[in-house]
A and B are shown apart, each in its own frame.
Chain A
Amino acid sequence: AMGLGLTAAPLRAATGLEPNSYEDITSYNNYYEFGTGKEDPARNAGQLTTDPWTIKIDGLVEKPGDYALSDLIPQMTTEERIYRFRCVEAWSMVVPWNGFELADLLDLVGVKSEAQYVAFETLYRPEEMPGTRFPVLDWPYREGLRLDEARHPLTLLATGIYGKPMPNQNGAPIRLVVPWKYGFKYIKSITRITLTDKQPKTSWNMANAREYGFYSNVNPQVDHPRWSQATERRIGGGLFARREPTLMFNGYDEVASLYEAMDLRKNF
């Protein structure tokens, strides 16, 4: 619906990845604005209005403003990226996203030199989001990236799955995808992007800083306090799917240089 350009040559970020079925990807979601059960978003997100959609881009940018998504998308190069998806809950999927690089959008709006972080906000519209009637989290959902993470070519703003417009339960019409981080960093239904010089507050970190760090890079050596992150259960494998080892940075080693000087145990 949003003028989703499909690519000529899909970019395969990792070879030999077998995507999960469309059914799996769209019926097993964490989107607490629509309920905390995995099947709640598919059940409750149908009522979400995603057209028209504007994103407020503000803070340390040359061209702040309210950008209509229908104007933005034709200016971006949309491509397919098949990425591993690792949830902080120790399950994983493979998702064929359609989207464009966040770096391209940042270039379009012009990032001021003082900017060091990018902050994101999800839509907060209680009348369409039954899950927000209870303070599971401090709404609206907030996430953030360091500017170099945001500019990394792996980082996407996704507008579709399997060549179809992004389903509401997956974060329509536009969501973040950062494949080397845990899924909760992939903020959904983005309405605001703010460039800032301070590390932004992020929802899960605000809710429980001991369990959810700002970086939240996939790391098999740093356990979540309540479960091990060493292995993961691939969704779609049925009742007897074996656990698989979790890969550092979810297998995207090319991002390692972003964290060279950092203690990833402290900055988890």
Chain B
Amino acid sequence: MIQQINSRIRQIPNWALYLLGAVPVVWLYVQGFQNALGPDPVDVIEHRLGLWALWLLIAGLCISPIQRNTPLRLLKLRRPIGVMAFMYVLVHFLTWLVLDVQIPSQIWADIVKRPYVTVGMVAMLLLLPLALTSNDWSIRKLGSKWRQLHWLVYPAVILAAVHMILQAKGFQLEPMIYLTVVLVLVGVRRTPLYRRR
């Protein structure tokens, strides 16, 4: 059973995963163009893309604990998930830039002055080199440095969750849950449970 799942996963071509990953963002914009996202489509697109990015980042963090503690072999999915997470961050950022803030002078002011924007920007910039080096050539070229570089995903995901908390008004439950999940997934990597095997 498990072996069947593992071999099925191995058979999925990467292009199919990327295509699948592009569906929500394309669908979101199609709905936006058709005026089907309610009174404030920009806000809806911005927030859903941010949420998708966070979901994908969290999914990426789950891969290695699953690999170590279960017979499931999901490692193959980690690169597509990571690259897609970055694509969502990028479209989220561009939507904010082009459709929301719009005014160039205000964009820079927001990045420097507003902590939640600054934190989000830093998270995106931390993810950029990771996305750029998510290919076999970079792994060969960078050798052991590749692992060190990709350690940056931990601060990036924590900052992404903090970014979500900082933009919420009032004391809200949902962003707290996301930060907790992220901290547990990062924290588990320092426990003996994780080092075993």
Q: Which residues on A are within 8 Å of B, measured CB to CB?
A: 20, 23-24, 27-28, 32, 36, 38-39, 89, 91, 134-137, 204, 207-208, 225-228, 230-231, 233, 235-236, 238-243
Q: Which residues of A contact B40 (CB under 8 A)?
A: 28, 38, 91, 233, 235
Q: Is A227 in contact with B170, judged by CB distance below 8 angstroms?
A: no
Q: Is B38 in contact with A233, judged by CB distance below 8 angstroms?
A: no
Q: Is B172 in contact with A239, judged by CB distance below 8 angstroms?
A: no
Q: Which residues of B contact A36 (CB under 8 A)?
A: 168-170, 172, 174
List 22 A-B pairs, Cβ < 8 Å: A23-B39, A32-B170, A36-B170, A36-B172, A134-B171, A137-B171, A204-B170, A207-B170, A208-B170, A226-B116, A227-B114, A233-B40, A235-B39, A236-B39, A239-B32, A239-B35, A239-B41, A239-B42, A239-B45, A239-B99, A241-B42, A243-B101
Residue of chain A at shortest CB distance from B166: A226
Q: Count the B residues whose beta carbon is within 8 Å of the partner chain — how many? A: 30
Known: A89-B169, A137-B170. 17 other contacts (CB 8 A): A27-B38, A28-B38, A36-B170, A38-B39, A38-B40, A38-B43, A134-B173, A135-B171, A207-B171, A208-B170, A226-B116, A233-B42, A235-B40, A238-B35, A239-B32, A239-B41, A243-B103
Q: Is B41 in contact with A230, judged by CB distance below 8 angstroms?
A: no
Residue of chain A at shortest CB distance from B35: A238
A226-B102 Cα distance, complex, nearest whole Å: 17
Residue of chain B at shortest CB distance from A133: B173
Mostly helix, strand, loop or mixed at chain B's interface?
Answer: helix
Q: Which residues of A contact B42 (CB under 8 A)?
A: 233, 239, 241
Chain B 28-46: CB-based contact to A (< 8 A → 1; otherwise 0): 0000110100111111010
Q: Is A239 in contact with B106, judged by CB distance below 8 angstroms?
A: no
Q: Is B115 in contact with A226, judged by CB distance below 8 angstroms?
A: yes
Q: Which residues of B contact A204 (CB under 8 A)?
A: 170
Q: Which residues of B contact A134 (CB under 8 A)?
A: 171-173
Residue of chain B at shortest CB distance from A231: B103
Q: Is B170 in contact with A27, judged by CB distance below 8 angstroms?
A: no
Q: Is B170 in contact with A240, judged by CB distance below 8 angstroms?
A: no
